């Protein structure tokens, strides 16, 4: 148990810091202003059968939404973008001000950060959809994290379970 806590603390130290802020909804319930998204997409073959998954958490690690679905035939990068789009759409209902989106795809993260150009026409369309979706929030940051990150591993597991269920 102590080892697990130490591992979690080490992972949290590597993540960008934000303060835990809450605001009151009109009904008096508190909601988180800052949320963290972990999204992953994968295709078996490139292109091939693909699935997406995402996990939306509070800054304290409480999972608010976790979802996955089969998306048909596409490339790995298309699946990564579609996973992020699904997560952003789900986050709208939670009304956060600030989102940190963690992706294990360096290409997608750097394209969204403006470090890489988007050359592929299909990815360009998905990139534009993300740009439009992020206008629904005050601040959205995109962070590339290693595949070994605990919550990204959970999202990857959901992707694979979804693909396994589809192939049976």
**In the chain, what is the straight-line distance between the N-terminal and C-terminal CA atoms, in Å?**
36
E strand or H helix at 36: strand 34-43
CA distance 41 to 72: 12
Q: What is the pLDDT of residue 33?
A: 87
pLDDT for 60-108, tens place per residue? 999 999 999 999 999 999 999 999 999 999 999 999 999 999 999 999 9
Task: List the alpha helices (DSSP H) in 21-120.
Answer: 76-92, 106-112
Q: What is the pLDDT of residue 167?
A: 84
The CATH topology of domain 33-167 is: Nucleotidyltransferase; domain 5 (3.30.420)
pLDDT for 31 equals 58
- Give the pLDDT score at 26: 41
Identify the segments of the chain with pLDDT beneath 50.
1, 4-5, 7-30
Give, in order, the Cα–Cα distances in Å from 102 to each of 46, 114, 135, 156. 22, 16, 18, 13
8-state DSSP, 100? E
The whole-chain average pLDDT of the chain stands at 87
Per-residue model confidence (pLDDT) at position 29: 44
Rounded Cα distance, 16 and 35, in Å: 12
* Cβ-contact 54, 87 below 8 angstroms: yes
CA 125 distance to own-chain centroid: 18
Per-domain residue ranges for the chain?
Answer: 33-167
44: three-class secondary structure by DSSP = coil
Instruction: Please state whether the peptide bond connecting residue 47 to the residue before it is cis, i.e. omega within 30 degrees of 0.
Output: yes
β pairing state of 139-144 and 98-103: parallel
For the whole model, what pTM was predicted? 0.82
């Amino acid at each position: 148990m102590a080892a697990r806590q130490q591992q979690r603390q080490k992972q949290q130290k590597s993540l960008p810091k934000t303060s835990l802020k809450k605001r009151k909804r009109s009904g008096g319930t508190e909601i988180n202003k800052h949320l963290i998204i972990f999204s992953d997409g994968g295709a078996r073959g490139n292109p091939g059968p693909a699935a997406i998954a995402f996990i939306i958490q509070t800054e304290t690690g409480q999972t608010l939404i976790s979802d996955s679905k089969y998306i048909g035939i596409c490339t790995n990068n298309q699946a990564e973008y579609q996973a992020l789009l699904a997560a952003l759409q789900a986050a709208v209902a939670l009304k956060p001000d600030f989102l940190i989106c963690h992706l294990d795809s360096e290409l997608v993260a750097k394209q969204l950060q403006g470090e890489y150009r988007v050359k592929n026409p299909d990815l360009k369309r998905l990139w534009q959809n993300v740009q439009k979706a992020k206008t629904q929030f005050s601040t959205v940051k995109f962070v590339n994290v290693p595949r070994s990150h605990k919550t990204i591993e959970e999202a990857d597991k959901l992707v694979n379970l979804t693909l396994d269920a589809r192939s049976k």
